[in-house]
């Protein structure tokens, strides 16, 4: 199994380690629930060094990304980031990612760990005919520091010049110095930063964060936090069989043109009608929603829970589901031998520490 530079530090912090897509990663350090609340109420740190960082440079970088991505990197000023999917020719989602503009001809992309090999192959294949260089950066560690107090607390651990710039760094913007790169981004629905740094400095940085009273958090809490925040997980809420239009990510697709890989397929789908949509659901009864459970609507149409869990903030089960476009309430979920009513809600469930749905 692959190990991050913080493997030893996780064990010292009492982590239970699991196999996560070939990486040995912490699932929790005692209580997933406590870690979740720490991020909603204070500050937590996640090791996300397993994620794949790719630097892109060369005169055709922007033109290449306009082809590779359905979102619009022309909108990005230097230091600004956006979220996008990456599509195949059929409009199916190869992966989702964050792209930062570092300069006029330079970008940094962060993709998922589990899809690394196919992503790099696809990015390489799509780069044919463009004058640019793609360079993976496996020697960078990545830590996400998240929560209402994350920005204040992380400053003490950052190089002074970066700490000083942090107050003027807006959400979805980044600052950097040498190999340290700090983006005000995350996957929890809270304020915070994602810090990339040389892996030989990661353990010292981690220890400074813990000394600043930031709670170490595992991938378990990361999943409940992102689901409460209504954020998609690749391989569950989206994959190559669904387009961004069919899973609630239409907002990440530019409207100006269809000149990106998968663009024609999306246009055809718009004209024919998108077959699916993504909805948020809340279980009113006791129980837990899980991926794979079947939803049934008023007309007997069926949908599928793609992500489900018990929400520590709502103290109820929540989920995201892929359903036919005309799916209508009332909706029930099949759990083992029972059918229980669920309420359809607008995402997100929780953002910035507050419940955003009516309960």
Which parts of this chain interact with another protein (CB under 8 A)?
A: 27-28, 31-33, 220, 224, 286-288, 290, 309-310, 312, 317, 336
CB closer to another protein, 227 vs 245: 227
CB of 186 to another protein, least distance (A): 20
Residue with tokens 């099949």: 334
CB of 18 to another protein, least distance (A): 10
CB of 338 to another protein, least distance (A): 9
Bridge partners (DSSP) of residue 54 are 109, 136
CA pseudo-torsion sign 336, 339, 341, 342: positive
CB closer to another protein, 263 vs 312: 312
CB of 343 to another protein, least distance (A): 18
CB closer to another protein, 120 vs 314: 314
Bridge partners (DSSP) of residue 143 are 47, 195
CB of 283 to another protein, least distance (A): 10
CB closer to another protein, 89 vs 285: 285
DSSP code, position 251: G
Query: Measured between alpha carbons, how far is residue 305 from residues 16, 276, 334 in Å?
Result: 27, 13, 10
Beta strand pairing call for 350-351 and 354-355: antiparallel
CB closer to another protein, 39 vs 94: 39
112 within 8 A of 126, measured Cβ to Cβ: no
CB closer to another protein, 127 vs 313: 313
Bridge partners (DSSP) of residue 295 are 303, 333
CB of 216 to another protein, least distance (A): 16
153 within 8 A of 208, measured Cβ to Cβ: no
Helical (H) or strand (E) element with 142? strand 140-146
């Amino acid at each position: 199994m692959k190990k991050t530079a913080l493997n030893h530090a996780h064990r010292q912090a009492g982590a239970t380690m699991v196999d996560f897509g070939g990486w040995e990663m912490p699932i929790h350090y005692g209580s997933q629930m406590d870690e979740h609340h720490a991020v909603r109420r204070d500050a937590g740190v996640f090791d996300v060094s397993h994620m794949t960082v790719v630097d892109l440079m060369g005169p055709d970088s922007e033109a290449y990304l306009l082809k590779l991505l359905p979102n619009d990197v022309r909108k990005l000023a230097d230091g600004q980031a956006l979220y996008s999917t990456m599509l195949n020719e059929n409009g199916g989602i190869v992966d989702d990612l964050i792209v930062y503009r570092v300069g006029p001809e330079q970008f940094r992309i962060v993709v998922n760990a589990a899809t690394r090999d196919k992503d790099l192959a696809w990015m390489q294949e799509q780069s044919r005919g463009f004058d640019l260089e793609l360079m993976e950066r496996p020697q960078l560690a990545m830590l996400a520091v998240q929560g209402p107090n994350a920005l204040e607390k992380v400053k003490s651990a950052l190089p002074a010049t970066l700490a000083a710039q942090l107050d003027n760094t807006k959400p979805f913007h980044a600052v950097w110095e040498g190999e340290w790169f700090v983006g005000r981004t995350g996957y929890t629905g809270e304020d915070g930063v994602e810090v990339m740094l040389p892996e030989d400095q990661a353990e010292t940085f981690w220890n400074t964060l813990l000394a600043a009273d930031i709670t170490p958090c595992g991938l378990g809490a990361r999943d409940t936090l992102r689901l409460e925040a209504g954020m998609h997980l690749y391989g569950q809420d989206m994959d190559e069989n669904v387009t961004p239009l069919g899973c609630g990510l239409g907002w990440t697709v530019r409207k100006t043109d269809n000149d990106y890989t998968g663009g024609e397929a999306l246009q055809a789908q718009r004209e024919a009608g998108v077959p699916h949509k993504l909805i948020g659901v809340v279980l009113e009864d006791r129980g837990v929603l899980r991926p794979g459970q079947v939803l049934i609507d008023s007309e007997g149409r069926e949908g599928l829970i793609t992500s489900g869990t018990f929400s520590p903030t709502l103290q109820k089960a929540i989920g995201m589901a892929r359903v036919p476009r005309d799916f209508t309430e009332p909706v029930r979920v099949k759990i083992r031998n029972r059918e229980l009513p669920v309420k359809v809600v607008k995402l997100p469930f929780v953002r910035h520490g507050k419940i955003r749905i009516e309960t």
